[in-house]
Amino acid sequence: MRKIFVLDSLITPRFMTAIHIILQLCVLMIFIGGSITAFRFGSVSGFFSTLIVCVLSAIAARVACEVLLVIFRIYDVLRDLRRHGIRLQEPDNPNARNA
C-alpha cells in the first residue's frame, strides 16, 4: 500500500507495452480507414500514401516508446548508483581556472 502513495518506483515503464499496442492498433485502424477511402474513390496513389504514412507512423511509435524506456532505465541506473553511494565524477573542464 505504501508504494501507491510514495513515488519510489515508477509505473510508466510497466504500461509501455500496453501503450505500444494501443498505438499500433490506432495505426492499423487508420490504415484500414484510409484504404477503404482510397478504394472507394478509386485512388491507387491514396492507398500507397496511406500505406507509407502508416508504416512510418508505426516505426515512429515504436521509437518513441523505446526512447521513453531508455530514459526510465537511465533513471533506474542513476538511482541505484546513488543508493549504493557511488558518486559520478564531473569531467575535467579545460576552461576552469586553477585556484
Q: What is the pTM of this model?
A: 0.69
Give the tens place of pLDDT for each residue, 55-86.
999 999 999 999 988 998 898 888 888 888 77
Residues in the chain: 99
Q: How far apart are CA 8 and CA 23, in angstroms?
A: 28
Gap between the terminal Cα atoms of the chain: 52
Question: 17 near 82, Cβ under 8 Å?
Answer: no
3-state secondary structure of 42: coil
Share of the chain above pLDDT 70, in %: 76
* Per-residue model confidence as pLDDT tens digits over 19-29: 999 999 999 99
